[in-house]
Structure 1
Amino acid sequence: MEHMGVISLIPPIIAIVLAIIFRNVIVSLFTGIFVGLLMLTNGNPITATTSTIRDYLFPQLTDSYNAAVIVLLCFIGGFVALVERSGGGAALATRTVKWINTKAKTQLSAWFGGIIIFFSDMGTPLIVGPVFEKLFDKVKVSREKLAWILDSTSSPVAILIPFIGWGIYIMGIMKEEFDRLSIASSEFTTFVQAIPFQFYAILSVIIVPIVALTKMDFGAMAKAEKRVQQTGQIYWQQSKPLRKADVTEESLPASHPMLIWLPLAVLFITLFSLLIAYGFPVKSVSGSDFRVALSTAYLFAAVTLMILMVSFKVKKINAILDIYLKGMQRMVQVILILVLAWALGSLLGEMGTAAYIVEQLDGNVPGNMVPAIIFLAAASMSFATGSSWGTIAIMLPLAIPMADGLDAPMLVSIGAVLSGGLFGDHCSPISDSTILASTGAGCDHIDHVKTQLPYALTNGLIALVSFIIAGFTESHWTVLISVALMVMIFVVFSRIKGAVIPLPSTRR
């Protein structure tokens, strides 16, 4: 494998370092590409700039596959914005309030609500949180617990689904690397097959009902629960709860549950009807046909929701169209990151970065341990940057060639990038998803980070062990071992004497 040696590591290192310093993935990726081209053009900044645009950005935008992904992301963004502003999610939750009369039911209802809003990781805390915060106060469950549930059902749920923004984004990066390495696998099939290896996401989702039903709280969360149950205090004395933002700044209009379930029904019926016409599930559906079917499904679902919003007098048609177009505009940043990730991956392929890493590791690190190493690297980067999206954009173009070159299990390695990115994101106080969870729950942000961290670290450690096991076995059943380990550890932690210490006078 040809490469430029150690200097081929400079572009990705610069991208990672700048992302950590400035927490701006777009600037970091662009700078990494530019520096790499400076090296290829003998330090000529003009040539490097024009080459960046002409040879690396334009080709990504004009590629038919990439263009289809960009169009699909726009359709998804428009539909998600309509759902967030329609009030349907809040109406559905409100209709179920009369059945919620215990601590367990309240927590499970919030968990289920987060799963229902699977198509919007950012929307989940801002839609579900305000609906349930008063219910949590009523049954004396802490706001910190609500914030944790919101965080556990936003990104962890979204990253497991192939036909929403997360999945399309990830498959877009995978496809680029598969083509570059002449890997014949379908990016959709690979994504689906890698789902059981997304250990951290699966653990994050499953632990919520387990804790709700068994009351297995420990650490800072146990203190918060004891505070609410014994004193009725919603916050610690020094807490500064975050106010509502985005969709919660203005009260959602009177709405109807139909505005959530009918558009989703149209989406699924349209999608699977078109896929069946292509031969699914008997025949393999091409990526192009899948994206066309998905784009059509999101468009039909959006039109259905627009009609419902007008029929129920939620908003006027001009306002609805404005929301839809603004939702599309919200995807611009995601699209920019994706295009730059494609461009950086192309540059790194030309410089032979992965080939150099493989050459250095070959014979020194067994391929079976590569997933665990990738998981730790992705987790560290995500924690430092607060961005799982940015981590995936930088790590996948490195991890896929590494797995291919070191004969490491590809599916497990992809799962390691996704799990590592999510784990670091959950631990990071500068993560946007963590901040949104605090905001949606009306919770102090630092309190949320402190109470969630023990759970995140526990699941992260279990995920690391799982990647070591899966690296050797390549078995999908490893996820069952992960869940069993999680239950055992949480039971032990919850029963350790002193896990719930006496209530302090203040949170400090």
Structure 2
Amino acid sequence: MSTDFAPPLAENSATIDSEKRVESPQKWILFFVAIMAFFAYLSTQHVEGESYGFYSLLPALLILFVAVITKKPLESIFAGIIAGLLLLDPSNVVSGLGDLSLSVVMNETIAWIVLVCGMMGGLINMLERGGSVLSFGQMLARRIKTRRGTMLTTCVLGIMVFIDDYLNSLAVSASMKNLTDHYKISREKLAFLVDSTAAPVCILVPVSTWAVYFAALLEENGAAAEGKGMSLYIDSIPYMAYGWLALVVVFLVAAGVLGDFGAMKHAEKRAQAGQTIPPGILIDGFDTSNMKKTSSSVGLMNFLLPMAVLVAASLYYDIDLLLGALVASLFTMVLYFWQRLLSFSQLVDAMLDGFKVMLHPIAVVCAGFMVKEINDQLAMTPYIIDSLTPYLSKELLPALVFASMAAVVFATGSSWGVFVVSLPIVIPMAITFEMSMPLTVGALLSASAFGSHACFFSDSTVLSSQGSGCTPMQHALTQIPYALIAAALAFISLLILGFAMA
């Protein structure tokens, strides 16, 4: 059941794809020069002091366009960043990029993400090299005998790891990869199963990083009195339509009731032919032949104990995954060194290699925050909300709030940062229309979960794809039809609730 090999078909496919992408570099250069010249021209049409209006949407649309063509998330995001800087001030693109990079790097949230992702990568790398992940997979393999059972178990594990979507995305995917490979389930489907139980589950559980963050935001923006933010959040959970419906969809897929279609169908056909790992993915070449053998019960304990310490420490430190990951990493190093599973230098190497593996996902998330900064300067979020305001009514407010904010989060990839801007606008609207505050908050959290779930460069999507062994674009393109089904049903549900509670 080991996956420490690279299928020849993947290598050949990757080579063919690479040749296709580089066959005409001059045309691509001319194309991007023309696009950037267009954005520079648009900047001359903007009157200083006035809103950018529709122009504010163009960098985000460019990102989506380039991503679909190139299948490269990082390059697509930087194309949108440069376009946005040209739109803001074409004479200061270089200095603007420097200032933007510096502001993002100095952002406390980004620093937290970098450390959490790096430490989680290191922790999971230690668990893999110590044989614990393999032991956990073998334990599951003895009890799960079907393809459907494997997918349903992945979903259940995702729900059990509810404390944070980062932990879910990395830990569940790492523990299930061998088993899903055994039953010829594509890595793209594994990423979908994991990602669909990440943010959608985290918003539904009041003991999660999402709940703590949004409860504080609700108090700051007047939606709830001081100390009552969490109470409002809990009251809003029944109305978080996207979270509930995304769970329904993923369980229907896992149970085989909802079939494969679109890019997922192609991925599953490839997996059934014996190639579960998609083209262009490099397989971790860590040599497991010299791994010290332990009994299955000890190996299972060596997996479950660090996970338990991670969750317990995070809860102890007010649901701070960074401190939880730090405590769990130190605990795991002591535990494995004491059992002589790995030497101290091997443990340090495992941590450092885990950081290295996470560098690309971290870069994508950081670039996504740069996009958010650009969109904030272009005032994209207020423009979208202002454009919808003439059509708002008490009955339509929840559904339109969900649709508009889902679009904003999808375009920016920032499921948390966007709401710092939007809450001061949306909450007064709900108060003015005398709409149910729990319903309004439920619509907002639904939008946040959809954006995190569907956007190809959101942190949840990037980490789920990294942990599962596929690219963010491969994951996003196979997942988006199912996310849109849940989003459409959520929109209809919020529309009905709006009229029912008006």
TM-score, normalised relative to structure 2: 0.62
Query: Is 1:83 matched with 2:123?
Result: yes
1: distance between equivalents of 2:212 and 2:101? 19
Q: Is the 8 A contact 1:108 1:212 kept in 2?
A: yes
For 2:391, the aligned partner's letter is N
Q: Is the 8 A contact 2:271 2:277 kept in 1?
A: no
Identify the residue that residue 495 of structure 2 maps to in structure 1: 468
Match of 2:242 among 190, 200, 224: 200
Give runs of aligned pairs for residues 269-418 of structure 1, distance below 5 A. 269-275=312-318, 294-312=321-339, 313-314=341-342, 316-323=346-353, 325-326=355-356, 329=359, 331-338=362-369, 341=372, 344-345=375-376, 347=377, 360-377=387-404, 390=413, 392=415, 396=419, 399-407=422-430, 410-418=440-448
Distance 1:176 1:307, change over 3 A: same
2: distance between equivalents of 1:416 and 1:246? 35
1: distance between equivalents of 2:119 and 2:392? 46
2: distance between equivalents of 1:463 and 1:249? 43
Greater mean alpha carbon deviation, residues 108-117 or residues 240-249: 240-249
Identify the residue that residue 303 of structure 2 maps to in structure 1: 260
2: distance between equivalents of 1:439 and 1:324? 14
Q: Secondary structure at the match of 1:366?
A: coil
Q: CA RMSD in A?
A: 5.2
2: distance between equivalents of 1:27 and 1:187? 43
Q: Is the 8 A contact 1:93 1:131 kept in 2?
A: yes
Match of 2:180 among 122, 126, 133: 133
The CA deviation string for residues 156-183 of structure 1, in whole angstroms up to 9 with x for no partner, is: 424543799xx86998799899869999
Identify the residue that residue 144 of structure 2 maps to in structure 1: 100
Query: Is 1:16 matched with 2:68?
Result: no
* Structure 2 unaligned residues grouped into runs of 5+: 1-46, 68-75
Shift of the alpha carbon at 1:416? Answer: 3.7
Q: Secondary structure at the match of 1:331?
A: helix
2: distance between equivalents of 1:243 and 1:132? 20
2: distance between equivalents of 1:170 and 1:339? 25
Distance 1:148 1:61, change over 3 A: closer
Q: Secondary structure at the match of 1:101?
A: coil
Q: Secondary structure at the match of 1:242?
A: coil
1: distance between equivalents of 2:101 and 2:276? 44
Q: Is the 8 A contact 2:204 2:243 kept in 1?
A: no
2: distance between equivalents of 1:327 and 1:260? 20
1: distance between equivalents of 2:411 and 2:49? 28
Identify the residue that residue 496 of structure 1 maps to in structure 2: none
Q: Is the 8 A contact 1:199 1:463 kept in 2?
A: yes
The CA deviation string for residues 307-333 of structure 1, in whole angstroms up to 9 with x for no partner, is: 234345246133134235436755354
Q: Is the 8 A contact 1:372 1:467 kept in 2?
A: yes
Q: Is the 8 A contact 2:118 2:358 kept in 1?
A: yes
Query: Is 1:242 matched with 2:278?
Result: yes
Q: Is the 8 A contact 1:378 1:417 kept in 2?
A: yes
Q: Is the 8 A contact 1:148 1:437 kept in 2?
A: no
Aligned residues: 413
2: distance between equivalents of 1:391 and 1:236? 37
Q: Is the 8 A contact 2:203 2:445 kept in 1?
A: no
Distance 1:247 1:127, change over 3 A: farther
Q: Is the 8 A contact 2:402 2:444 kept in 1?
A: no
Give runs of aligned pairs for residues 64-79 of structure 1, distance below 5 A. 66-67=107-108, 69-79=109-119
1: distance between equivalents of 2:193 and 2:103? 38
The CA deviation string for residues 470-499 of structure 1, in whole angstroms up to 9 with x for no partner, is: 445679xxxxxxxxxxxxxxxxxxxxxxxx
Q: Is the 8 A contact 1:194 1:412 kept in 2?
A: yes
Q: Secondary structure at the match of 2:272?
A: coil
Distance 1:268 1:123, change over 3 A: closer
Q: Is the 8 A contact 1:108 1:209 kept in 2?
A: yes
The CA deviation string for residues 173-229 of structure 1, in whole angstroms up to 9 with x for no partner, is: 99899869999778984777665554334333344445656x5244659x98xx99x
Distance 1:84 1:438, change over 3 A: closer
For 1:28, the aligned partner's letter is G
Q: Is the 8 A contact 1:200 1:422 kept in 2?
A: no
Q: Secondary structure at the match of 1:216?
A: coil
Shift of the alpha carbon at 1:78? Answer: 2.6
Q: Is the 8 A contact 1:268 1:297 kept in 2?
A: yes
Q: Is the 8 A contact 1:399 1:414 kept in 2?
A: no
1: distance between equivalents of 2:188 and 2:287? 20
Identify the residue that residue 87 of structure 2 maps to in structure 1: 35
For 2:429, the aligned partner's letter is L
Shift of the alpha carbon at 1:131? Answer: 1.5
1: distance between equivalents of 2:261 and 2:382? 45
For 1:75, the aligned partner's letter is L
Fraction of identical pairs, as percent: 14
Shift of the alpha carbon at 1:403? Answer: 1.6
For 1:322, the aligned partner's letter is L
Q: Secondary structure at the match of 1:98?
A: helix
Identify the residue that residue 23 of structure 2 maps to in structure 1: none
